[in-house]
Amino acid sequence: MSMEMEIIEPETFDRRNDEREAFSKVTAALASANDASLRSALDDNKRLWSTLQDNLFQEENVLPDSLKSQLISLVNWVDGYTAKVLEGEKEIGALISINNTIMEGLAA
53-97 residue pLDDT tens:
999 999 999 999 999 999 999 999 999 999 999 999 999 999 999
11 has pLDDT over 90? no
Largest interatomic CA distance in the chain: 59
Does 3 fall in a domain? Answer: no
- Report the domain count for the chain: 1
d(Cα 105, Cα 91) in Å, to the nearest integer? 23
In this structure, is residue 33 part of a structural domain? yes
Would 1 be classed as within a structural domain?
no
Q: Rounded CA gap, 90 and 42, in Å?
A: 13
Q: What is the pTM of this model?
A: 0.84
Q: Is residue 54 part of a domain?
A: yes
Torsion of the alpha carbons at 94, 37, 18 and 70, rounded to the nearest 10 = 30
The alpha-helical segments, DSSP class H, found in 1-108 are 10-31, 38-56, 65-86, 93-107
